[in-house]
Amino acid sequence: MKTLNKHFKNKVNVPNGRYVLRKRADGDKVKTLNKHFKNKANVPYGRCVLRTNDQRDKEIVDQLITRLRQQGVYCDFIKQDELIRDHAIEKNTSHKIRVKLLERVKT
């Protein structure tokens, strides 16, 4: 049988001379590493990106709102729908659509 050195602590030697990985119950270590390397939301950056999103050429309002909703996930807004509506009204390139959206807003 081959002996294990300190670099192969998670391996077990087998009579045929091959090493086999031990099954480890280290689920906690994996969870801790996943938690550590998980992307953390940067709320101020997300809000900055959202505020700078303008309507692109040949982009319809629905596409703009979809992009704003996707970005709004990273912004941690309490009233996300109202802010996205206001931003869509402000950054919309069509005056007619802007007027229609403003007429739709209930006071």
Secondary structure (3-state) at 11: strand
Domain carrying residue 30: 8-37
Q: Are residues 17 and 66 in the same domain?
A: no
On whether residue 1 sits in a domain, the answer given is no
Residue 36 or residue 95, greater confidence: 95
Of residues 53 and 17, more confidently modeled: 53
Average pLDDT over residues 17-36: 64
> What's the CA gap between 38 and 36, in Å, rounded?
6
pLDDT at 4: 47
Q: Is the pLDDT assigned to residue 56 strictly greater than 60?
A: yes
Query: Do residues 68 and 97 share a domain?
Result: yes
Average pLDDT of span 63-67: 91
Taking the model in full, what pTM does it have?
A: 0.56
| Residue 97 falls inside a structural domain | yes
Q: Are residues 51 and 88 in the same domain?
A: yes
